[in-house]
């Protein structure tokens, strides 16, 4: 009605007259079509003039589905309707139209065009429902485009939207016109059109004029085909064995979930949880590229061929992000453990969390402790002693040691892992488990039973967490206590200086030792003549000080020297005890007998806190030389006693020469040489060696000398042990029983992170470099984030850092699950798993918030297409396991080209027919314009046996 505005001013009362006038102005109405054409023309001219580059600057919209596709849109009005005209174009115009590899817009594929226009009404359906309207619209555009001599094809959507039907037109210069038509059959595809043969005939029928039997003639057409296959989803039914079992299991489906095999059953984390397979399946595209087909028979043959005959295979991994919903894994549990750490500051002792009466906050009340049966099961699992001590280096990463935790297989690491999966890892559940755990540990202690999953020997590794050190120490104490019980069953307490005789019913278990169990045989040898043989056999205990072992060898090698020394020993050898052999050619200063190194007690093992305590003590007492001797008093005294026993005629200076050569200053720079190469004769000449004690050793009241004076001559085997297992063990239990919740949780967090990482680290994922790198990074991140915890400076900031660490852990865990899944699927084609993982890694990295800072579209799904090389085809083919009876029953196979019994989920075919222009009837009219071959007929067919879409383009001479 806009056209009436001119006369509208004549007044309201003249409304009837207006109608007349409007009729009179009819020419505007008649020209609206023309005006629409010119409007289209104007827009097209503008777009043509701009070119892709400027259009991009003007805000062309990128089409997500295809890489280089953009579109611009303009709205047009025609009569009362408004239309949207869209121009689709590619920035990078290259490649052939039939190239299946690149991602195409649907219409490009259908009609074999590159850039194109689409005009659609701005309505809900977005299609033109009225056939005359559609053709009118199309001719309007055709006129407009030819006016601006554009060769763009234009399409109009028609019919029902679900049919995806289009009509279209394209000017090809002045002479030819291409017409397009596409439609779809959504159901009840005629049987004839299910097969290649029928589809070929459908195409041929478009240009074969007669309705004669097509098979009688030869029509050379070009043909290419793309088949898409999809692996069946890995659901429970598929994994179940086929055959008779299936029938049975269908009855008790609920009960047999235990027999179900999970994909990750042999992955290291499966002991704790089962991860969803991130690889949901694979799509496979098999492409038969250009072929000349002459008859329907040939097509029939082609339908029988295997996908292995196709020229090209392209793999489409279907990988789920797993970002939806809460993923259960180590990361989620570690996060709960961090929450528990946060709560742990609320109480003084672990028992306070367990007791029901006084939960200090509502938060605690809501936390549930799993039932006693569950607790019992977990404890049994935890304490179950394996046949042998597990391999503690298992799963260890080169950076594991930077995390102050415990080895994965050990008791405490296992406790931590059990805890994070116990209940929902709340502080009350942890407390309940811990209290029971410690009670069990006490049982092992009281009953002198070996601690499960703990080494009972070796030295204390101070890089581990304190609880682990304590447990190792306890295991060692238990071992020593056992030896002690076995050896001294009948003489309890007799090793103390005075017998325990306070009360008859009082027994003192204190002090006695089992360090080097003296067996009779050994004693006899020691006290008898020292023969070379005897020396060898008695070298069972390793003395702490060097200088001895090579010497036992040298006496063997030089029997003559040995014999010469032996007469010297004669006077005292009957009282020489606990000797491990002579020290080189060193002689005692006073008696001029050869100096013997004694067997000494091992220095007592110390845990970290004991070292610290000593350090504090030294600081507290001013760090004087005497005080450090005071600290070492027990050890010194023990060594001196042993030395005295081995060298009955020794003086203090002799001990210093052996024990602390630095404190003996030699005038002639010989004699103290431990090499033993100096000839005995040479020594004799210089006897006695001239030298003196160092300043600090010769000071008046030197503590060393005092200790020396008080030390009795006792071989190590008869001494009180330096490490009193009863005492140390009880101390450790006290530590465990009174451990502060936050101290426990701090160590648990460290150990749980390390153990979880070590567990994941055991997964095999082949040579995926990025994964190895990420794991390396993870360890270092964990180590640096946990450092404040080790220094006992946990605050709210640390807790936040730990929560972030859990997120980092989760990302790595997810990637690792994928890496492991890919690795096992592509064991024989590692290149494929590497390529897929690499692509996914690059896709995922921005999501981890560790890559570039710019925010990437996180919603984007992971998509990749990977060309499969010939030798890798078998691996892919094996993934298409033959469908079970159950599955094939569901579906009637109706297409050919089966891959291990799988029919394609989508078949796409392009037929095309080319004509030499000069050879055809067109040529007579345009002898010089078009001399080249042009595509006269093209048909794209896409679908399955019950869904077929056909798009036809025909070039004709107008």
Partner 1 sequence: MDSSSGQSEFEYLFKLLMIGDSGVGKSSLLLCFTSDTFEDLSPTIGVDFKVKYVEVGGKKLKLAIWDTAGQERFRTLTSSYYRGAQGIIMVYDVTRRETFTNLSDIWAKEIDLYSTNQDCIKMLVGNKVDKESERVVTKKEGINFAREYGCLFTECSAKTRVNVQQCFEELVLKILDTPSLIAEGSKGVKKNIFKQKPQADVSTSGCC
Which residues lie near partner 1 (CB under 8 A)?
349, 376, 379-380, 383, 436, 439-440, 442-443, 445-448, 485, 489, 492-493, 496-503, 505-511, 613-614, 616-617, 620, 630-631, 633, 726-727, 730-731, 734, 737-738, 740
For residues 914 and 932, give the distance between their C-alpha atoms in angstroms, rounded to a whole number.
10
Nearer to partner 1, 248 or 376 (CB): 376
Nearer to partner 1, 179 or 442 (CB): 442
Task: Give, to the nearest 10 degrees, the angle between helix 652-659 and helix 633-646.
Answer: 110
Nearer to partner 1, 202 or 629 (CB): 629
Nearer to partner 1, 15 or 498 (CB): 498
SS3 state at 831? helix
Residue 502: C-alpha distances to residues 491, 773, 912 (Å): 16, 67, 113
Q: Judging by beta carbons within 10 Å of its beta carbon (0-12, 13-18, 19+), is residue 179 exposed, middle or buried?
A: middle
Closest CB 514 distance from partner 1, rounded Å:
14
Q: Positive or negative CA dihedral for 702, 703, 705, 706? A: positive
Nearer to partner 1, 276 or 436 (CB): 436
For residues 824 and 833, give the distance between their C-alpha atoms in angstroms, rounded to a whole number.
9
Closest CB 440 distance from partner 1, rounded Å:
6
Closest CB 785 distance from partner 1, rounded Å:
28
Nearer to partner 1, 240 or 731 (CB): 731
Closest CB 384 distance from partner 1, rounded Å:
8
Alpha helix ranges (H) inside 148-262 = 196-205, 236-239, 243-249
* Residues contacting residue 160 through CB under 8 Å, at least 6 positions apart: 125, 127
Nearer to partner 1, 204 or 369 (CB): 369
Assign 3-class secondary structure to 632-693: CHHHHHHHHHHHHHHCCCCCHHHHHHHHCHHHEEECCCCCCCCCCCCCHHHHHHCCCCCEEE
Q: CA 308, 312, 316 angle in degrees (round to 5)?
A: 95
**Which of 340, 332, 334 minimizes the C-alpha distance to 742?**
340
Closest CB 228 distance from partner 1, rounded Å:
57
Find out whether 822 and 830 touch, Cβ atoms under 8 Å: no
Closest CB 441 distance from partner 1, rounded Å:
9
Closest CB 758 distance from partner 1, rounded Å:
26
SS3 state at 205? helix
Closest CB 613 distance from partner 1, rounded Å:
5
For residues 572 and 66, give the distance between their C-alpha atoms in angstroms, rounded to a whole number.
98
Nearer to partner 1, 98 or 630 (CB): 630
Nearer to partner 1, 448 or 593 (CB): 448
Find out whether 576 and 618 touch, Cβ atoms under 8 Å: no
Nearer to partner 1, 586 or 707 (CB): 707
Closest CB 723 distance from partner 1, rounded Å:
13
Closest CB 439 distance from partner 1, rounded Å:
5
Closest CB 777 distance from partner 1, rounded Å:
38
Q: Which H or E run contains 292?
A: strand 279-293
Closest CB 454 distance from partner 1, rounded Å:
16
Return the DSSP state at 265: T
Closest CB 417 distance from partner 1, rounded Å:
18
Nearer to partner 1, 10 or 449 (CB): 449
Nearer to partner 1, 389 or 631 (CB): 631
Q: Judging by beta carbons within 10 Å of its beta carbon (0-12, 13-18, 19+), is residue 344 exposed, middle or buried?
A: buried
For residues 627 and 704, give the distance between their C-alpha atoms in angstroms, rounded to a whole number.
11
* Residues contacting residue 14 through CB under 8 Å, at least 6 positions apart: none
For residues 176 and 248, give the distance between their C-alpha atoms in angstroms, rounded to a whole number.
68
Alpha helix ranges (H) inside 711-740 = 725-737
Closest CB 350 distance from partner 1, rounded Å:
11
For residues 636 and 630, give the distance between their C-alpha atoms in angstroms, rounded to a whole number.
9
Return the DSSP state at 151: -
Nearer to partner 1, 437 or 880 (CB): 437
Nearer to partner 1, 510 or 915 (CB): 510
For residues 542 and 603, give the distance between their C-alpha atoms in angstroms, rounded to a whole number.
11
């Amino acid at each position: 009605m806009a056209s009436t505005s001119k006369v509208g001013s004549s007044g309201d009362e003249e409304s009837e007259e207006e109608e007349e006038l409007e009729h009179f102005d009819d020419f505007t109405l008649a020209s609206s079509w023309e005006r629409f054409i010119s409007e289209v023309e104007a827009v097209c001219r503008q777009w043509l003039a701009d070119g892709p580059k400027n259009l991009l600057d003007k805000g062309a919209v990128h089409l997500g589905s295809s890489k280089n596709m953009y579109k611009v849109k303009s709205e047009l009005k025609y009569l009362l309707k408004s239309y949207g005209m869209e121009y689709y174009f590619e920035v990078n115009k290259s490649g052939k139209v039939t190239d299946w590899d690149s991602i195409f817009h649907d219409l490009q594929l259908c009609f074999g065009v590159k850039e194109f226009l689409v005009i659609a009404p701005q309505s809900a359906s977005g299609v033109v429902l009225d056939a005359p309207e559609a053709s009118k619209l199309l001719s309007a555009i055709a006129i407009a485009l030819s006016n601006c001599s554009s060769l763009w094809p234009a399409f109009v959507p028609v019919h029902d939207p679900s049919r995806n039907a289009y009509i279209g037109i394209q000017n090809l210069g002045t002479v030819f016109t291409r017409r397009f038509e596409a439609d779809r059959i959504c159901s009840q595809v005629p049987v004839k059109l299910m097969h290649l043969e029928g589809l070929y005939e459908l195409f041929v029928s478009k240009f074969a004029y007669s309705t004669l039997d097509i098979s009688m003639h030869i029509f050379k057409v070009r043909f290419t085909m793309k088949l898409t296959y999809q692996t069946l989803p890995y659901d429970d039914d598929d994994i179940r064995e086929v055959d008779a079992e299936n029938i049975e299991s269908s009855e008790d489906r609920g009960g047999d979930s235990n027999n179900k095999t999970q994909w990750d059953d042999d992955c290291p984390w499966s002991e704790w949880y089962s991860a969803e397979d991130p690889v949901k399946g694979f799509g496979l595209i098999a492409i038969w590229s250009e072929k000349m087909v002459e008859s329907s028979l040939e097509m029939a043959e082609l339908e029988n061929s295997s996908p292995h005959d196709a020229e090209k295979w392209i793999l489409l991994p279907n990988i789920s992000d797993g970002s939806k919903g809460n993923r259960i894994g180590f990361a989620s549990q570690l996060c709960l453990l961090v929450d528990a750490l946060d709560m742990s500051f609320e109480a003084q002792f672990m028992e306070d969390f367990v007791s029901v009466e006084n939960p200090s906050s509502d938060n605690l009340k809501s936390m549930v402790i799993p039932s006693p049966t569950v607790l019992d099961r977990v404890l049994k699992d935890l304490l179950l002693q394996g046949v042998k001590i597990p391999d503690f280096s298992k799963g260890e990463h080169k950076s594991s040691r930077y995390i102050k935790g415990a080895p994965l297989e050990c008791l405490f690491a296992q406790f931590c892992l059990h805890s994070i999966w116990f209940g929902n890892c709340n502080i009350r559940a942890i407390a309940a488990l811990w209290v029971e755990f410690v009670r069990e540990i006490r049982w092992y202690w009281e009953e002198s039973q070996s601690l499960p999953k703990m080494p009972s020997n070796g030295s204390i590794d101070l890089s581990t967490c304190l609880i682990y050190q304590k447990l190792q120490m306890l295991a060692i104490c238990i071992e020593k206590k056992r030896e002690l019980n076995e050896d001294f069953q009948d003489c309890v307490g007799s090793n103390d200086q005075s017998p325990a005789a306070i009360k008859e019913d009082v027994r003192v278990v204190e002090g006695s030792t089992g360090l080097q169990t003296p067996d009779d045989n050994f004693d006899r040898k020691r006290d008898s003549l020292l023969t070379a043989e005897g020396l060898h056999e008695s070298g069972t205990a390793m003395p702490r000080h060097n200088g001895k072992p090579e010497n036992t060898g040298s006496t063997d090698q030089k029997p003559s020297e040995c014999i010469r020394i032996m007469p010297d020993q004669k006077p005292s050898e009957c009282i020489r005890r606990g000797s491990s052999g002579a020290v080189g050619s060193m002689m005692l200063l006073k008696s001029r007998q050869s100096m013997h190194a004694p067997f000494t007690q091992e220095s007592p093992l110390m845990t970290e806190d004991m070292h610290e305590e000593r350090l504090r003590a030294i600081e507290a007492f001013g760090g004087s030389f005497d005080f450090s001797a005071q600290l070492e008093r027990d050890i010194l005294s023990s060594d001196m006693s042993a030395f005295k026993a081995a060298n009955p005629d020794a003086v203090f200076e002799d001990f210093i020469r052996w024990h602390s050569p630095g404190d003996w200053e030699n005038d002639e720079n010989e004699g103290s040489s431990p090499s033993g190469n100096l000839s005995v004769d040479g020594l004799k000449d210089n006897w006695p060696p001239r030298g003196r004690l160092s300043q600090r050793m010769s000071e008046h009241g030197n503590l060393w000398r005092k200790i020396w004076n008080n030390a009795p001559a006792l071989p190590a085997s008869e001494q009180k042990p330096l490490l009193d297992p009863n005492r140390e063990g009880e101390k450790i239990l006290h530590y465990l029983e009174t451990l502060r919740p936050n101290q426990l949780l701090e160590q648990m967090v460290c150990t749980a992170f390390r153990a979880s990482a070590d567990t994941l680290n055991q997964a095999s994922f082949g040579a995926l470099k990025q994964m190895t790198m990420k794991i390396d990074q993870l360890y270092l991140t964990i180590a640096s984030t946990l450092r404040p915890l080790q220094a006992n400076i946990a605050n709210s900031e640390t807790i936040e850092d730990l929560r972030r660490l859990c997120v980092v852990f989760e990302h790595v865990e997810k990637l690792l699950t994928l890496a492991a899944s890919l690795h096992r699927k592509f064991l024989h084609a590692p290149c494929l798993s590497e390529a897929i993982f690499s692509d996914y890694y690059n896709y995922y990295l921005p999501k981890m918030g560790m890559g570039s800072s710019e925010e990437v579209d996180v919603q984007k799904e992971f998509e990749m297409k990977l060309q499969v090389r010939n030798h890798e085809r078998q691996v892919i083919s094996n993934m298409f396991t033959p469908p079970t009876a159950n599955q094939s029953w569901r579906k009637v196979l109706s297409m050919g080209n089966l891959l291990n019994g799988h029919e394609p989920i989508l078949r796409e075919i392009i037929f095309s027919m080319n004509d030499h222009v000069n050879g055809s009837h067109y040529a007579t009219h345009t002898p010089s314009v078009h001399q080249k071959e042009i595509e006269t007929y093209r048909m794209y067919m896409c679908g399955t046996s019950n869904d077929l879409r056909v798009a036809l383009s025909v070039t004709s001479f107008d």
